[in-house]
Structure 1
Amino acid sequence: MDSTHLGWRTLAKRQWPLACALLFFTGSETLSDYTSWWQLPGSVVVGALAVLSPRRPFDAALAAATALVASSVVLDVVDETAGPAVLVSGVTLSEGAATMALVAILVRQASLPRVLVGVVALVLAVGFTQPLRPSFWRRYYSDVDYAGPTFWQQVLAGSILLVLSVGTGLYFRARDRERATTLRAEVAAAQHAERMALARELHDVVAHYVTGIVVHAQAAQAVPAAAQEVLPIIAQSGNEALTAMRRLVGTLRGAETSDASPAATSDLADDVRQVVAQSGQPVRLSLDLPSGVPPSLGRSVLRLVQESLTNTRKHAEDVTRVDVSVAVDGGVVHVVVADDGRAAKAAPVGGSGGFGLVGMRERVELLGGTFSAGPGASGGWEVRAALPIAE
């Protein structure tokens, strides 16, 4: 048996218009002089099944068909008519409306085999009400010699109502499919954006520290006497890499963490100085930063400086100077990192996945800025970025 697992609160929000309409029809029939109280239980059961059918549409359709037949048998036994407003065959207005709703919901939610079985069961149950129930028209309109709609008139009316019900169900089924497709696309886009953000974070932060560890380890191997000076730097870089990894794992697990990166404090100038000092390169630093740079934007500035210095260390040889400039002008943070080295002939430390420049460009463009990277005018490599300060 199928179940949509629709919650009761969601069901109430979706079905209250149908419930009110069926209550109105049933109440109008109950207050009529032509209505038998023997008809009321069947109408209430079929209406309740129609309202609750989104939870189990196929089961509700079979139960409603059974209820229609059972109600017809009861009315035949007690010799009471169903009335007053007979639409098709022997069903009342409330029963007919509930049956149409059941067909529409069944077509909307159930699989094709269940739709066929459920619709056939409801159509047969409605058809059996005509021979089973005493004729409302013969009993109350015998003096005008009117026996009610002819067989073919009822078939035509029933066919029109059935087509309307099936068409309504197909329309909502298409809407549900379109909504599900849109939702899947949004989820996929959100997952892709999250993966890209994590990839940038891994490349910009963790790879930066690991590259430093490898470079200093290679320096210690080349100059054993410098090992005592290099080992503390390696240990510090390793600890910072572990801290960054723990933060990323906490983000993946959805945990709230106060272990923010040390390069993301409220003082952007000090943060830039710390990144430059940790790079171990001959950097000439120029800062012109007011205190109004938002921390979220400052973090992106730090990542740009950090990744640019990492690229210099990995890809450039014979570097004697790296100019790093971070300044604010006209509400825009300008970042320039330029070196005077030449392209390395050997493969860079840790290989080159080619994601550094891509990640920097994506980070800048997401913030509405501009990014460029390429050979400098006097040689070397130059990275430029302009990030607007959001008001």
Structure 2
Amino acid sequence: MESSHLGWRVLARRQWPLAGALLLFVVTEKLGDGSWWQLPGTLVVSALAVLAPRRPFDAALAAATAVLVTSVLIRLVDEPPTGSFVDGLALSETAAVMAIIAVVVRQATAVKALVGTAVLVGTGVVAQWVRPSFWDKYGAELDFRGPTLVQQVVVAAVLLVLSLGTGLYFRARDRERATLVRSEVTAAQHAERIALARELHDVVAHYVTAIVVHAQAAQAVPAAAQEVLPIIAQSGNEALTAMRRLVGTLREAEDGAGTGAPAATSDLADDVRKVVAQSGQPVRLSLDLPSDVPPSLARSVLRLVQESLTNARKHAEGVSAVDVSVAVVADAVLVVVSDDGRAPKAAPVGGSGGFGLVGMRERVELLGGTFTAGRRDTGGWQVRAELPLAETR
């Protein structure tokens, strides 16, 4: 997955084709005079298939339970399921189970994927054994005794392979995407190290060299000491200034563009207000913070807010409002920065290396949080980060 956080809006946008297909299957089965005793379980399994990306393994276990309960119920009322070539699961249930298997294989760990798939396959086998056979009850009327056991096994195997293949394909895609992000992070870190090394060499080393040269001159000619001491003092002060600037960069007191951000103090809410005030943008600020946010977390929150505002200024056109929300929700600091701007028609001045989002994602993940960024359905751009308080105390 692109992110471990999958909000309801993103889920709806991603899963609506599956929800529509499952709903069509359910309606078709009911129009075909299907068993109404089967409907509640079918709806539950279909809903779990749509929601599976949020908690795949739990969805697999819950779907297996729903299928088993439905199987016992229709056995008690002696109403076989309809809408499937294979005895046991109905067409809508089969499609929902296939979707859940694909999601579990894609997102869950190898062990959970194996267990979840085995549980669902085993549940399908049990359902075929427990549920009344449609063909045994209605086959004579339809003049068709139904598929043979071999045909049913072949169909079930093909559907299982299709589900597993789909899950493995998307799992591989996600792994490639994660590898690409890591490589971009490594490249950004390397570029930052090179920039710091260049600064050390061109600025700090220059002043230190001047200090050494003038000190050696004073040793060689003691009478010139009074003349070179002011030069040594000036070079030392300039070297200290350069070092403070570098340390400030390392402590995240400056952003990549060179505009200073206030260092984190004991009052995170006040620090965020200062960052917003310095941005010069039409910001609507919402704060709900305690007074004891850990310093390391506070610095990261400030950096996220500043970088998000910088991106809004550089990469969006026609921004009339930027909403900044920083609040504690369920033992985590939730940072949401969204704007209503349009994508720029031309590249920003100086270009964009794309390292801003990469750096923010890395910062959040290092603190054990979740990060998403992208365009909103209503227009504009949104950055969302959730940083756990427990990880930094």
The reply to whether TM is greater than 0.5 is yes
Aligned to 1:133: 131
Q: Distance in 2 between matches of 1:156 and 1:4?
A: 36
For residues 55-91 of structure 1, give each alpha carbon's deviation from its aligned partner in whole angstroms, at most 9, with x where no partner exists. Answer: 33222212211111111111122333322x1143321
Deviation (angstroms), 1:97: 0.7
**Partner residue in 2 for 1:122:** 120
**Alpha-carbon distance in structure 2 between the residues aligned to 1:19 and 1:247:** 55
C-alpha distance in 2, partners of 1:134/1:140?
11
Query: In structure 1, how many angstroms separate the alpha carbons of the residues matched to 2:173 and 2:123?
Result: 30
The CA distance in 2 between the partners of 1:175 and 1:18, in whole Å, is 20
Give the greater-gyration-radius structure (CA). Answer: 1
Residue 123 of structure 1: CA displacement? 1.2
In 2: Cα distance, 1:254 partner to 1:233 partner: 31
3-state DSSP of counterpart to 1:148: coil
How many residues are treated as equivalent by the alignment? 256
Q: Distance in 1 between the 2:214 and 2:6 partners?
A: 60
| TM-aligned CA deviation for residue 96 of structure 1 | 0.7
Quick one: which of 224, 227, 247 aligns to 1:226? 224
- 1:185-233, CA deviations, whole angstroms, 9 ceiling, x for partnerless residues? 1211111111111111111111111111111122222222222222222
| Counterpart residue number, 2:44 | 45
Post-superposition, which runs of at least 4 consecutive aligned residues in structure 1 deviate over 6 A?
257-260
| Corresponding position of 2:314 | none
What one-letter code is carried by the residue in structure 1 that aligns with 2:54? R
Do the aligned partners of 2:87 and 2:134 also contact (CA within 8 Å) in 1? no
Partner of 1:152: 150
| Higher relative contact order (CA closer than 8 Å, sequence separation 6+) | 2
* CA RMSD across the alignment: 2.4
Q: How does 1:64-103 map to 2 (within 5 A)?
A: 64-83=63-82, 85-103=83-101
Partner of 1:210: 208
How far off its partner does 1:122 sit? Answer: 1.0
Q: How does 1:228-243 map to 2 (within 5 A)?
A: 228-243=226-241
Quote the Cα distance in structure 2 between the aligned partners of 1:256 and 1:27: 59
Q: Deviations over 1:6-31 (max 9, x none)?
A: 4444434433332232233223334x
Letter in 1 for 2:157: S
| Alpha carbons of structure 1 residues 215 and 122: separation in structure 2 relative to 1, 3 Å | same
Alpha-carbon offset, residue 33 of structure 1:
4.1
CA contact (8 A) 2:85 2:147 kept: no
Alignment TM-score, normalising by the size of structure 1? 0.60
Query: Within 1, Cα distance between the matches of 2:159 and 2:115?
Result: 18
- Contact 1:212–1:234 (CA under 8 A) maintained in structure 2: yes
CA distance in 1, matches of 2:125, 2:168: 24
Whether contact under 8 Å (1:50, 1:101) holds in the other structure is: yes
Structure 1 residues 27 and 239, CA gap change in structure 2 (3 angstroms): farther
* Residues 105 and 164 in structure 2, CA contact (< 8 A), matched pair in contact too: yes
Task: For 1:250-329, list aligned pairs within 5 A.
Answer: 250-256=248-254
- Tell me what 1:25 maps to: 25
CA distance in 2, matches of 1:106, 1:74: 27
Q: Which runs of 5+ in 1 are unaligned?
A: 261-391
Give the direction of change, closer, same or farther, for the CA distance of 1:153–1:244 in structure 2 (3 Å limit): same
User: For the structure 1 residues 20 and 241, does the alpha-carbon distance in structure 2 shift closer, same or farther, using more than 3 Å as the test?
Assistant: farther
Task: Measure how far apart 1:175 and its partner are.
Answer: 1.5
SS of match in other structure, 1:38:
helix
Alpha-carbon separation, structure 1, partners of 2:105 and 2:161:
11
Structure 2: gaps spanning 5 or more residues:
261-393
Aligned-residue sequence identity (percent) comes to: 68
The counterpart of 2:180, out of the listed 179, 182, 188, is 182
Cα distance in 1, alignment partners of residues 85 and 203 from structure 2 = 73
1:120-139 C-alpha deviation (Å, 9 max, x unpaired) = 21112112222322333344
Taking the aligned partners of 1:123 and 1:15, their CA distance within structure 2 comes to: 23
Q: In structure 2, what residue type is equivalent to 1:38?
A: W
C-alpha change, 1:77 and 1:171, in structure 2 (3 Å) is same
Q: Distance in 2 between matches of 1:11 and 1:144?
A: 42
Work out the CA distance in 2 between the residues paired with 1:36 and 1:142: 19
Deviation, 1:4, is 4.8
**Retained in 2: the 8 A contact 1:87–1:96?**
no
TM-fit CA distance, 1:259: 8.1
* Corresponding position: 1:14 with 2:14: yes
C-alpha distance in structure 1 between counterparts of 2:73 and 2:4, whole Å: 33
Residue from 106, 109, 117 that aligns with 2:107: 109
Deviation digits for residues 326-352 of structure 1 (CA, Å, limit 9, x no counterpart): xxxxxxxxxxxxxxxxxxxxxxxxxxx
Q: In structure 1, how many angstroms separate the alpha carbons of the residues matched to 2:12 and 2:201?
A: 49
